[in-house]
């Protein structure tokens, strides 16, 4: 959530920065300013009426003692009470409208984020590794999986419907091996604390990280209960400190977790329907950082490098791209995508998205810290995949495939297998 004080004091700056995403947000900022002005006027009026009521009430015992008529005072006190009730009801309505608008306004992009409409305007930062030159025609992972009997799409559909898959034997073992490998690297080499979290959360937790209310249609809600399945462990890891005040010397905090993730993929009809690239249930090792504001952009660069390390150890070619304003997520101020090479598609595909949300999520989730001089400030939160496990499995199957339809296991994973 954008700081209302910043909107109030520098609306043109906020409009210009949000306009880099979409010009429509200028109208929303105008509505915020209008409601904020009315809210502050109502607060002043309510305080004034309460002060008048208190003054009038003090006259009762004096008038009675002196034998004076108190009917006019009583009438005015009654009128004031009705006016306060009216203004308080309107204040509640205004505050609800104001909060609702603020919840739908995305984060402002950082100054160095390229302006653009979609993924075609993203900027490539670097590449690592050379895509393999095959002396045979590489086949897609779903054909490899079906030939080896380790990916079963029909049984996945029988059990749960479209975009669900059953893994057997080597695929199941490799999925498990990748999870353990990623967690080991991030905890032992990168300093993360491993966490095991619930995958069902309350709605206010999803409000904290920005999935609600805007992306409600992508979430799975438990019928009859006020709980949702998480779309990513970013939700639970970031909200570990929801409505808390940390101490400065506690920061930064690094958290990592493996969880299954659940997304309806409501806006992806017809996209990547073959294979396991885009599933309703998928595994991911998530990375979350909670930092001081002045450290967050250095931590973002480190976060990207930490996710890259997994691909480097696996020997998988990839590239890093800086997302433009039109392709960036709702909560992000700046995002790097890491895209791994997929031979059957002859292109790079996203395997990790690493973002700095600055204080956007912290304001929604009320995550603060106390500085050494006693001031309370909002933290900055960062998140990234370290990595998406299923997509890593795809990349291994395709990049390490053999002419006979089998595939090799990267050397570093063999001990995990």
Q: Mind telling me the catalytic residues?
A: 263, 278, 350, 353, 391
Measured CA to CA, the distance from residue 123 to residue 128 in angstroms comes to 15
Q: What letter does residue 221 receive in the DSSP assignment?
A: B
Q: What letter does residue 357 receive in the DSSP assignment?
A: -
- Is residue 227 helix, strand or coil? coil
Residues in CB range of 359: below 8 A, 6 or more apart: 3, 293, 378, 379, 380, 381
Between the alpha carbon of residue 269 and those of residues 14, 252, 279, the distances in Å are 34, 39, 12
Measured CA to CA, the distance from residue 172 to residue 145 in angstroms comes to 11
233 is in an annotated binding site: yes
115 is in an annotated binding site: no
Residues in CB range of 232: below 8 A, 6 or more apart: 259, 261, 284, 286, 383, 385
* Location of structure tokens 């150890």: 313
- Is residue 401 helix, strand or coil? strand
383 is in an annotated binding site: yes
344 is in an annotated binding site: no
234 is in an annotated binding site: yes
Main-chain phi, psi angles of 89, to 5 degrees: -65, -40
Main-chain phi, psi angles of 126, to 5 degrees: -165, 165
351 is in an annotated binding site: yes
| Helices 296-314, 169-188: crossing angle, 10 deg rounding | 140
**What's the token pair of residue 258?**
């493996």
Measured CA to CA, the distance from residue 113 to residue 324 in angstroms comes to 6
296 is in an annotated binding site: no
Binding residues: 232-234, 263-265, 286, 350-353, 383, 385
Q: Residues annotated in the binding site for L-serine, as ranges?
A: 232-234, 263, 286, 383, 385
């Amino acid at each position: 959530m954008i700081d209302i004080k910043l909107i109030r004091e520098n609306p043109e700056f906020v409009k210009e920065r949000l306009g880099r995403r979409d010009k429509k947000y200028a109208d929303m900022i105008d509505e915020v300013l209008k409601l904020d002005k009315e809210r502050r006027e109502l607060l002043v009026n309510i305080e004034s009426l309460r002060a008048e009521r208190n003054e009038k009430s003090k006259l009762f015992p004096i008038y009675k003692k002196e034998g004076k008529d108190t009917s006019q005072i009583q009438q005015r006190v009654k009128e004031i009470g009705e006016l306060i009730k009216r203004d308080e009801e309107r204040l509640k309505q205004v505050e609800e409208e104001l909060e609702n608008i603020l919840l739908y306004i995305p984060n402002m992009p950082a100054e160095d984020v390229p302006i653009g409409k979609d993924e075609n305007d993203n900027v490539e930062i670097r590449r690592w590794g050379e895509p393999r030159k095959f002396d045979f025609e590489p086949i897609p992972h779903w054909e490899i999986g079906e030939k080896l009997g380790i990916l079963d799409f029909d049984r996945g559909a029988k059990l749960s419907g479209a975009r669900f898959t059953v893994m057997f034997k080597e695929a199941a073992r490799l999925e498990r091996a990748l999870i353990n490998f990623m967690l080991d690297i991030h905890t032992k080499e990168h300093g993360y604390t491993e966490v095991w979290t619930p995958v069902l959360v309350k709605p206010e937790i999803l409000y904290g990280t920005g999935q609600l209310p805007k992306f409600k249609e992508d979430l799975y809600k438990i019928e009859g209960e006020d709980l949702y399945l998480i779309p990513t462990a970013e939700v639970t890891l970031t909200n570990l400190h929801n409505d808390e005040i940390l101490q400065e010397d506690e920061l930064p905090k690094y958290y990592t977790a493996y969880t299954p993730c659940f997304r309806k993929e409501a806006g992806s009809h017809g996209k990547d329907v073959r294979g396991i690239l885009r599933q309703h249930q998928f595994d991911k090792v998530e990375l979350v950082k909670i930092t001081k504001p002045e450290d967050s952009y250095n931590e973002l660069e480190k976060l990207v490098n930490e996710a890259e390390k997994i691909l480097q150890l696996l020997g998988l070619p990839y590239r890093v791209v800086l997302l433009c304003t039109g392709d960036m997520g709702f909560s992000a101020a700046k995002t790097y995508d890491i895209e791994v090479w997929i031979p059957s598609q002859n292109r790079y595909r996203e395997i990790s998205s690493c973002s700095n949300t600055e204080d956007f999520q912290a304001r929604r989730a009320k995550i603060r810290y106390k500085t050494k001089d006693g001031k309370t400030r909002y933290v900055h939160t960062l998140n990234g995949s370290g990595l998406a496990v299923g997509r890593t499995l795809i990349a291994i199957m395709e990049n390490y495939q053999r002419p006979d339809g089998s595939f090799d296991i990267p050397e570093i994973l063999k001990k995990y297998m």
